[in-house]
Amino acid sequence: MTLTAPVNPPKALPVSRRESSVRRAWRKASPYAYIAPFFTLFAAFGVFPLIYTAYVSLYRVELQTPGDMEWRGLGNYTALLGDEFFWNSLRNTFTIGVLSTVPQLVIALGLAHLLNYRMRGRTFLRTAVLLPYATSVAAATLVFAQLFGRDFGLINYVLGAVGIGPVDWQNDTVASQIAVSTVVVWRWTGYNALIYLAGMQSIPDELYEAAAMDGASRWRQFFHVTLPGLRPTIVFTVIVSTIGATQLFGEPLLLEGSISGGISHQYQTLGLYMYEQGWGFFHLGRAAAIAWVMFLLIVVVVGVNALIARRRSRKEAGR
Amino acid sequence: MPIDRAVRSTTLAVRLGAVVLSGALLAACGGSSDGATTDAAGGDVTITVDLFGSFGYKEAGLYAEYEKLHPGVTIKQTDTEDEADYWKSLQTRLAGGGGLADVQGVEVGRIASVTQQQADKFEDLKKYGADGLKGQFAEAKWAAATGKNGEVLGLGTDVGPEAMCYRKDLFAKAGLPTDREALAKEWGDWDGYLELGKRYKAKAPAKSAWLDSVGSLYSIMIGQEQERYYDASGKLIWEENPALRAAWDHSVKAAADGLSAKLDQWSPQWNQAFSAGSFATMPCPAWMLGYIKGQAGETGKGKWDVAALPGGAGNWGGSYLAVPKAAQHKKEAYELIKWLTAPEQQARLFEKQGNFPSSTGAIEKVATATDPYFSNAPIGKIFGDAAKAAPVQVLGVHDQNIAQQITNALSEVERKGTAPEKAWENARKGVANTLG
């Protein structure tokens, strides 16, 4: 997709040679000057930490004594392979990722479809679904942690009223992962719904009219017109939520305030494990290695995602 | 800010890196010069104090009094409830060399880390004449904050002599004796305590357990031991330590008998449970009294009582006040902590907040103190006796992290029904991962 329309080169103006060369130089250089602030900040707070983290990950460094660095080569990485806490957190990241991303996108799609109808108070509703996104992770998670309380939580109170015995939302593996996912779903569904809504509005009305003429029901219209039209949007949201799920950190940290992700690491994600290694145990080298593994993991996952999407769209085009 | 020229470029790079790594966007000008301890022109000074949990200085009005005694001095305190969070943040700032307060609190479980690993990051208080204060403090308290080369790295605040807090009203409902002397006899040892727990459970009010969590039972029991995780030579011995195993076994037994309310200490649920009466006993170091008052509130007044601890005296916690090298007002900070840890102030703090003094003079002063909140229990005598009899503990660099792994494993037994041997194995793996 190109953002700028092709511009015809302006005809040479009758000005002096010297002036025009200065101008030409400025015209060439100015775009770089305009984007320089971003790249300066990006270099300082994006690229440098990235490279420095890679450097640190090759050493044994403790936060208490950052001056004593002991060369370990790839030792921090190979140690991860045999580290069951690492695999556990990777597994948790995946299951919590699925538990949060799938319902989130499915509900968002449904919501967007409903919001696309002509109805009273449409603008109000569209704004309202975005509200959870505007709350901070910390605030939302702390409130949910209260709701999910084992002894005095509202959710267990309601479940108890219909005869379902108290669920231990903190210590039970599945229940705790559902609790964490719920916070994610609640915060991000509205955001995705609005993105889908924007995508839906770019689908030409004629397609719906033609489908209606052919006698397609609302459901069939949704499946055969809306969904194919939304494909690029869906790919975008899947990629963005996958990245978000891989980095999941604030919600599991604040559910109980435990850096271990619960007493038996039952909802410890990769991000949380990195934090535990770095700021719980002060092993900066190992934490840096985990950070890099996460980075590579995201690159691979997003790459695979993009590849599948491209395959499919090519197939589509070939049809 | 000019960077000290003596700082070698490598350490500078490390500092820079640590700052970036920690995400704290602080200036990396950690090379503070030692001369600049006072503000120019002797003008107004703001001393910053950064603490964890509840030291209670502000609540007891000690800051206000100090400010009155020293016109021009303003004290600003920041406080983090969870010590683990506080320590993380302090370590990050120490590594970066910036953003440190003039006075930093250090928990006794971390003081070995300060004396063994970070003696170069804190002021040697001898420089300001701290040597002369040695006689004021209990010997062990003073020794634990002394570095390898005799540096004085912190002044002791409180100690944590242990006792047992219990709910008189709930005991009465379950038909148990409520008199603290009688109870101390009944639970002469920990088996007696667990037996009494079974009797409580048989007649207890609904939704009320014998104790808050097996983690707190373990913590109080391990506090009665001299050697816990390390021996005196600094060798890791926790796995073979029979005393630790005994504390573990009793905690497992309490879990198996269903005596625990299964609450995580310091969690919001635990806080709520104080007023709900979810547990009848809670092992309590002296500093816990203030916490109980805060959580149980006015309605809890007179319902609680304190008795001597089963199985003898112990110590859990206690703290120090230290001055980082990177502090801005070191001299003033020293004057402040000297005053705060003096016998008179420690005694007042105990009477108001329950933090038991580490200063010998103050211990005598409070010997007859009682607390109306805890049914006029003679807390001065109970905790004073415990403080005298408590063993001098061997402290290790990683005490706190190891203890956390063990209590996590015990919580698995308590809440997930994990087999004790499996949980022990989990604790072993957890500790290995921690020490890395």
Question: pLDDT tens digits, residue range A1-59?
Answer: 444 444 454 555 555 566 688 899 998 899 999 999 999 999 999 999 999 999 999 99
The tokens for A15 are 């000005």
- Give the total number of structural domains in chain B: 2
The tokens for B346 are 């420690």
Note whether B309 and B428 are same-domain residues.
Answer: yes
Whether B265 maps to a domain, the answer reads: yes
Domain that holds residue B75: 34-159+318-365
CA B379 to chain centre: 18
Kindly calculate the radius of gyration of chain A based on its CA atoms and give it in whole angstroms.
25
Residues A242/A305, Cβ–Cβ less than 8 Å: yes
Residues of A with CB under 8 A from a CB of B: 48-49, 52-53, 55-56, 63-67, 69, 83-85, 145-146, 149-152, 168, 170-172, 256-257, 259-260, 263-264, 277-284, 286, 288
- Does the distance separating the beta carbons of A264 and B416 come in below 8 Å? yes
Note whether B178 and B39 are same-domain residues.
Answer: no
Look at residues B228, B223, B215 and name the one whose alpha carbon lies nearest to residue A258: B215
The answer, yes or no, to whether residue B21 has pLDDT greater than 70, is no
Residue A255, pLDDT score: 92
Neighbouring residues of B203: CB distance < 8 A, sequence distance ≥ 6: B173, B174, B175
The answer, yes or no, to whether residue B227 has pLDDT greater than 60, is yes
Whether B14 maps to a domain, the answer reads: no
Other Cβ atoms closer than 10 A to B37: 19
CA distance A262 to A171: 7
- Does the distance separating the beta carbons of A83 and B117 come in below 8 Å? no
Look at residues B299, B356, B310, B354 and name the one whose alpha carbon lies nearest to residue B211: B310
Q: What is the pLDDT of residues B27-52, one digit of tens each?
A: 333 333 333 344 444 579 999 999 99
Whether B23 maps to a domain, the answer reads: no
Inter-CA distances, B211 with B218, B258, B282, Å: 12, 10, 6
Inter-CA distances, A248 with A91, A254, B9, B248, Å: 13, 12, 36, 34
Residue B278, pLDDT score: 95
Note whether B42 and B124 are same-domain residues.
Answer: yes
CATH number reported for the structural domain that contains residue B324 in this entry: 3.40.190.10
pLDDT class for B81, splitting at 50, 70, 90? confident
The answer, yes or no, to whether residue B74 has pLDDT greater than 60, is yes
Note whether B339 and B382 are same-domain residues.
Answer: no
- Which is it for strands A65-71 and B356-357: parallel, antiparallel or unpaired? unpaired
Look at residues B168, B117, B133 and name the one whose alpha carbon lies nearest to residue B280: B168
Residues B45/B72, Cβ–Cβ less than 8 Å: yes
Whether B18 maps to a domain, the answer reads: no
Residues of B with CB under 8 A from a CB of A: 11, 14-15, 17-18, 20-21, 82, 84-85, 88, 91-92, 94-95, 113, 117-118, 207, 263-264, 267-269, 272-273, 276, 278, 401, 408-409, 411-412, 415-416, 418, 426, 429, 433-436
B188: amino acid identity, one letter: G
Note whether B116 and B133 are same-domain residues.
Answer: yes
Q: Nearest 5°: CA angle at A310, between A305 and A313?
A: 125
Whether B21 maps to a domain, the answer reads: no
The pTM for the full model equals: 0.85
Q: What is the ipTM of this complex?
A: 0.83
Note whether B176 and B284 are same-domain residues.
Answer: yes
Whether B48 maps to a domain, the answer reads: yes
- Does the distance separating the beta carbons of A67 and B14 come in below 8 Å? yes
Note whether B197 and B346 are same-domain residues.
Answer: no
DSSP state of A38: H
The answer, yes or no, to whether residue B58 has pLDDT greater than 80, is yes
Whether B46 maps to a domain, the answer reads: yes
Question: Where do the domains of chain A lie, and which CATH numbers do they carry?
Answer: 94-318 (1.10.3720.10)
CA distance A285 to A70: 10
Q: What is the pLDDT of residues B336-389, one digit of tens each?
A: 999 999 999 999 999 888 899 999 999 999 999 999 999 999 999 999 999 999
- Does the distance separating the beta carbons of A171 and B415 come in below 8 Å? yes
Note whether B200 and B306 are same-domain residues.
Answer: yes
Instruction: Identify from B19, B21, B86 which residue to disrupt to test chain A contact, counting A C-beta atoms within 10 A and taking the largest count.
Output: B21
Instruction: Identify from B12, B405, B415, B424 which residue to disrupt to test chain A contact, counting A C-beta atoms within 10 A and taking the largest count.
Output: B415
Note whether B62 and B116 are same-domain residues.
Answer: yes
Note whether B219 and B261 are same-domain residues.
Answer: yes
Whether B8 maps to a domain, the answer reads: no
Note whether B176 and B128 are same-domain residues.
Answer: no
DSSP H or E run through B285: strand B279-285
Note whether B76 and B224 are same-domain residues.
Answer: no
For the ranges A293-307, B25-39, B98-112, B294-308, which has the lowest average pLDDT?
B25-39
Q: Using CB atoms within 10 A of its CB, is residue A70 exposed (0-12), middle (13-18) or buried (19+)?
A: exposed
- Does the distance separating the beta carbons of A146 and B418 come in below 8 Å? no
Which among B17, B408, B418 is the nearest to A56, CB-wise?
B17
The answer, yes or no, to whether residue B59 has pLDDT greater than 70, is yes
The SS3 call for residue A238 is helix
Q: What is the pLDDT of residues A262-318, one digit of tens each?
A: 999 999 999 999 999 999 999 999 999 999 999 999 999 889 988 888 887 787 776
